[in-house]
Amino acid sequence: MKFTATQIAGLLEGEIEGNSDAEVSKLAKIEEGTEGSLTFLANPKYTSYIYSTQATIAIVNKDFVAENKIDTTLIRVDDAYKAFSKLLEYYNQVKMNKTGIEEPVFVSESATYGENLYLGAFSYLGDNVKIGANATIYPNVYIGNNVEIGDNVIIFAGAKVYSETVIGNNCVINSGVIVGADGFGFTPDENGEYSKVPQTGNVIIEDNVDLGAGTTIDRATLGATIIRKGVKLDNQIQIAHNVEIGENTVIAAQSGVAGSTKIGKNCVIGGQVGIVGHITIGNNVRIQAQSGIGRNVKDNEALQGSPALSYGGFNKSYVHFKNLPEIIKRFNTFEKKIDND
């Protein structure tokens, strides 16, 4: 696909400075720009590259003032970073604009779907599946019985959506995601042997949710595991049965949330965080990477460590942690002095 400076400026409501007929067919970082590529300058640290880049077109802020000669065609916008992000989104939409049903696939006679469906080869749609308009379902996707999926949903290759799951509009489910597998529910008998507790609930995923590759979300024992609108989950995250994650919360890779825990709105949770079950985490909470959360957390707290302390308290304590050998040495010297006196 090729785009001219005129087309790009029209999409971004920008002003062209240079050759309006200049064409690009790929994207590049400014320091790696080559002929035929489009780049952008937003961070002042990279300003020097605008004079040496070989990119054909560069997006810059309107207030950018050139100090040397620039050969690249410029498109001036209010915010270069946001404009480039908008362009990336548009590029993805064009690139992934696929429709039609490939062969072979299995589609139950009772399954229904909206217009502009793309269904990749070797996919499976079970009984009573309902899919909205403009859905893009890549090859080898399994969608179980009674699943409901909204409009503009993208499900990448190899994902599995188990029965009874409900997925809202504008969601992205990446490869290897498993939604709706049984929760980890077992009960021991008097001999210490474990019997499985039936998991009869489902998973509800609201609008505008992104699930990273390899993430798993377990169905509830009773009721629903709920991922509220706007949640973003990174790769390889485990969400256990009956968990609820509030609106616009973001969780980084390799974190795990145990059963029946409730997480509030607008939280930011770092990578490799472990959260025990049956607790409540408030709104606007910040949890640093590799922390272990074993208690209820109030709104607006910032935590670090395992077991987690307040962020400020952890940093103050860490000064003493790293000096502990020297502190013990001084203490022992002082103790000997007292004994000798």
Can 241 be counted among the known catalytic residues?
yes
User: 89 by DSSP, 3-state: which?
Assistant: helix
Q: H or E segment at 232? A: strand 232-233
Nearest 5°: the CA angle 173, 177, 182 is 125
Peptide bond into 325 cis (omega under 30): no
Q: H or E segment at 209? A: none
Question: Pairing between strand 302-304 and 309-310?
Answer: antiparallel
Q: Tell me which DSSP letter residue 90 carries.
A: H
CB 108 within 8 A of CB 89: no
CB 160 within 8 A of CB 179: yes
Q: How far apart are CA 196 and CA 186, in angstroms?
A: 4
Phi/psi of residue 219, each to 5°? -70, 155
Q: How far does the chain reach from its first CA to its final CA, in angstroms?
A: 86
Q: Which amino acid is at 176?
A: G
- Alpha helices by DSSP H, listed for 14-146, are 80-95
The two tokens of residue 142 are 């399994």
Q: Which residue is catalytic, options 241, 254, 258, 270?
A: 241
Q: Which amino acid is at 25?
A: S
**How many CB atoms are located within 10 Å of the residue 129 CB?**
22
Active site residues: 241
